[in-house]
Amino acid sequence: MKKYSAPIMMILIFEAIAITLWLTKDNIFYLFNFSYIGCSIALGMFLFIRRYKHARRIVQLLVGSYMLVYLGLICNENMQIEGFWYYLFTGVFEAATIHYAVAKIFGPLIFGRGWCGYACWTAMVLDFLPYKVPQQPRKKIGWIRYIVFALSLVFVATLFLAHVGNIEKIMFWAFIIGNALYYAVGIILAFAFKDNRAFCKYICPITVFLKPMSYFALMMVKCDKTKCISCGKCKRVCPMDVDVTDNSRKRKNGTECIHCLECAKNCPKGAL
Ligand code: SF4
Ligand code: SF4
Ligand code: SF4
């Protein structure tokens, strides 16, 4: 039973969030939403402990498709970065602002970029592409993310400053068009750079939040130096080019780790 303590803990953390938000916001949606996400993640952890090799993908599909189809398309909630700016400007702590606070701003202080490995609906599709392990060295074009980040802020700020009417409808269409663009650019870059996660490394504006917060993450994949034989397999299979054998926070590409655990699965000595 002890080996299942992590998934049980995950359910309890998400239930605490679910019940707190349900009672404070007086909206039962939060109880359903965070219970569903917590159970999905716990199921993935349970399957991982049982050594089921597609455990992470199951969670990614359960959470990613729920957020894209149910929250985005059916409930008309723009969970992309434009939706976050929109709710921030309206001063409402709802939907996208809660989502960003939990998954992308404060949550990463605990679980790092777990969002990117287990829940993101963009990566959910990109991870089906053929280049799971990057086939080319990393490019020095990560600055593009800051331009995309600034453009998203300018776009929403302009709507408010210009007093454009029916912004909610514009936000819905921004969600549809934005997602279509993300998928198109992500797929083109994956094939151009032979790297499924090229979009995450160079374009995604959400990493402007995720990277600095995950630097301080409590959860980190660590290397047991007494077992490691420096074979380099972990670095070769890492989709994000992390030097996971270095246990310091300053390790190479440390804020890129998406907790996929490919390194641990492939370590011949069980050092990770
Ligand atoms: S970097 Fe962006 S696109 Fe990639 S998984 Fe994270 S949130 Fe999704
Ligand atoms: S795969 Fe394991 S043994 Fe090889 S370098 Fe990485 S941690 Fe060390
Ligand atoms: S392979 Fe290991 S170091 Fe690389 S992203 Fe996955 S968990 Fe992080």
Residue pLDDT, tens place only, 13-29: 889 989 998 999 888 98
| CA atoms of 47 and 61, how far apart (whole Å) | 14
As given in the structure block, the two tokens for residue 115 are 């969002």
- Say which DSSP state 70 is in: I
> pLDDT-based confidence at 1, cuts 50/70/90?
low
Distance 82 CA to ligand 1 centre (A): 15
Establish whether residue 116 lines the binding site of ligand 3, counting it when its CB lies within 6 angstroms of any ligand atom.
no
- Say which DSSP state 269 is in: T
Measured CA angle at 210 (ends 206, 211), to 5 deg: 115
Residue owning the nearest CA to atom 2 of ligand 2: 267
| CA atoms of 22 and 28, how far apart (whole Å) | 5
| Ligand 2 closest atom vs CA 231 | 4
Sign, Cα dihedral of 43, 45, 47, 50? negative
- pTM value > 0.85: yes
Residue pLDDT, tens place only, 135-186: 999 999 999 999 999 999 999 999 999 988 888 899 999 999 999 999 999 9
